[in-house]
Amino acid sequence: MKERVAIVGIGVTGFSSVSPSISFKELTYTAAVKAYHEAGLHPKEIDSFITASEDFMEGYSIFDEYVPDQMGAVMRPVQTVTADFIQALGIGCMMINTGRFRTIAVEAHSKASNVKTLNEVKAFALDPVYIRPLKENADFLAGLEMKRFLEETGNTEEQCAEVIVKNKANALNNPYAAHAASLTIDDVLSSPPISLPLKELDAAKPADGAIMIVLASEKEAKALCKKPIWIRGISWFSGQGNPWCRDFAYADYAQLAAQKAFAMAGIANPLKDLDFAEICDEYSYKELQHLESIGIARKGEAGFLTQTGVTKLGGLLPVNVSGGSLGVGHTYEASGGMKVVEAVMQLRHEAGIRQIPNAKTGLVQSWRGVPTATGAIAILSNE
Amino acid sequence: MKIENVPVKGLSSDEYEKTLKISWKPTLQYAWDNGIGIGKYLQSLKEGKILAAYCEKCGRIMLPARAFCEMCFRPTDKYLPVKDTGTVNTFAICHVNWDASRLKPDEPRYIPAVIEIDGASPGQGIMHLLGNVEPAKVRIGMKVKAVWKPADKREGSITDILFFEPY
Ligand SMILES: [Zn+2]
């Protein structure tokens, strides 16, 4: 990157299935206060503000008009990035790289519990000509992708179940998590079918929560912060958008974003150069598919790595020590944000009982969910 | 306007209706959590009071009540009821419905207005409707008072006030 960009403040509310005691504005405000406190900045000192949000999930058109109050951004420049938090973070980095902004605040939140017709919103993302008239729940796309992925790579349903057991157990160590559980492989395999091979426990459950992150230019970061966390590489891609002509065995968007982010960050051997990865696990098989597409695992080997403990806390490359979306909760456009927060805590060595010893460099990845083939990757480091 | 009236060569209304199209009717439903600020404000309306919030730092008495001052970016310090009277800041006279369909000539016109409430800081208005007044008689600066729903009909919504009328 032209000039290095660092994370100098994080704020997170914690996640829960419902949050009736707090409005979405108050939720974001809570995260924002923490982030600005960490950064040692009043919002008036922040140069520009970004919200990663999707109008349909909020129930407001032109949703960015409803965020300045809680971000401290009244009469300040604000924009929506209608994408995952990590993509918004990338926009923030580019703004700082222009040299015209020293600090940027990026927000994302989920009030998924307030969307009473969540499945309709998901269906509304399906192609109205070629898919929607089939009137199938949007999760069917995950089912058919999982089928083809397992068939072609030789990974198994049992190995997908291992992902769920691992991530939900990791979440037991994360006080922010909404869906922690101690499960067995059999619990997962016998959970009710959704779109087989996809079963109920294979899909992450929604959660509410908010995240705010403050970015700063290198000069500003060093002045503000004892432990700036550097964004060494960041990239996002859209792959084959039409699901009927996709190669379901791998995630093209993740592969493309990884190549670019690794090149920026100088990562030659991800398994060796990374200390941990927070991977999109909105569905169990997605963690395996993403690991193989990113190049952390060879094709057909992600399940084996999971089964043999390589990706558990204490393994060679811990994956989703936060608990991932399966354990913390699916927070839609905030999903990547939750993972960035975990990475920052790990790299500051402030992750408590789930701390990865001597963590120096980590990868965070997001995917925008069905039916998309869009995702982002960032490489974060404390050096 | 009928399509036939448009001075270009095109399809008739009937022909247009017969073209093949894909249609979809979304069912979108939301139930937003009120939380602290909005929750207190709406609960207060149910009790027949308009509730404001006070910020010690900027000294503003703000409407509607809120949990934090968006200008000072700090929690508000207390909630306090203000009067249910105020001054019309601006208004419009609407000849169309919510869906832009025309009101019939004999139907009353809607008069949405911003009303600066007595007891709140200058410029702290709420959005509501004016009633019991001829549209031609409404003026900026007019003094108005809330007309409330009967107590047993109030449900914690801004419609617990029916409208504001001159007094
Ligand atoms: Zn104030």
Does ipTM surpass 0.90 in this model?
Answer: yes
Specify the pLDDT at position B7: 63
How many Å apart are CA A33 and CA A71, to the nearest integer? 9
Specify the pLDDT at position B5: 63
The confidence band for B14, taking pLDDT boundaries of 50, 70 and 90, is confident
Model confidence pLDDT, tens digit, residues A218-243: 999 999 999 999 999 999 999 999 99
Mean pLDDT of A277-289: 98
Q: pTM above the 0.90 mark?
A: yes
Specify the pLDDT at position A1: 47
Neighbours of ion ligand 1 (CB under 5 A): B 55, 57-58, 69, 71-72
Model confidence pLDDT, tens digit, residues A89-100: 999 999 999 999
Specify the pLDDT at position B19: 86
Specify the pLDDT at position A2: 66
Q: How would you class A290 by CB atoms within 10 Å of its CB: exposed for 0-12, middle for 13-18, buried for 19 or more? A: buried
Is A25 near chain B, with CB under 8 Å?
yes
Q: Is A163 a residue whose pLDDT tops 80? A: yes
Pairwise CB contact (< 8 Å): A33 & B26: no
**C-alpha torsion angle, residues A68, A72, A74, A76 (rounded to 10):** -100
User: Of B24, B27, B73, which is closest to A132 when you measure between CB atoms?
Assistant: B24
Specify the pLDDT at position B2: 59
Q: How many CB atoms lie within 10 A of CB A14?
A: 17
Helices A140-153, A284-294: crossing angle, 10 deg rounding: 50
Name every residue whose Cβ is closer than 8 Å to that of residue B18 and which is 6 or more positions away in sequence: none
Write out chain A residues lying below 8 Å of B66, CB-based: 69
Q: How far is CA A380 from CA A50, A230, A278, A341, B74, in A?
A: 20, 6, 11, 11, 31
Candidates A84, A163, A53; CA nearest to A365 is: A84
How many beta-carbon pairs below 8 A join chains A and B? Answer: 76
Model confidence pLDDT, tens digit, residues B91-126: 999 999 999 999 999 999 999 999 999 999 999 999
Specify the pLDDT at position A3: 79
User: Of A21, A25, A120, which is closest to B28 when you measure between CB atoms?
Assistant: A120
Model confidence pLDDT, tens digit, residues B136-163: 999 999 999 999 999 999 999 999 999 9
How many Å apart are CA A27 and CA A224, to the nearest integer? 25
Domains and CATH numbers, chain A: 5-116+207-229 (3.40.47.10), 126-205+231-381 (3.40.47.10)
- Report B:60-99 residues touching A (Cβ under 8 A): 66-68, 70-71, 73
The confidence band for B17, taking pLDDT boundaries of 50, 70 and 90, is confident
List the domain boundaries for chain B. Answer: 33-166
The confidence band for B13, taking pLDDT boundaries of 50, 70 and 90, is confident
Percent of chain A whose pLDDT exceeds 70: 99
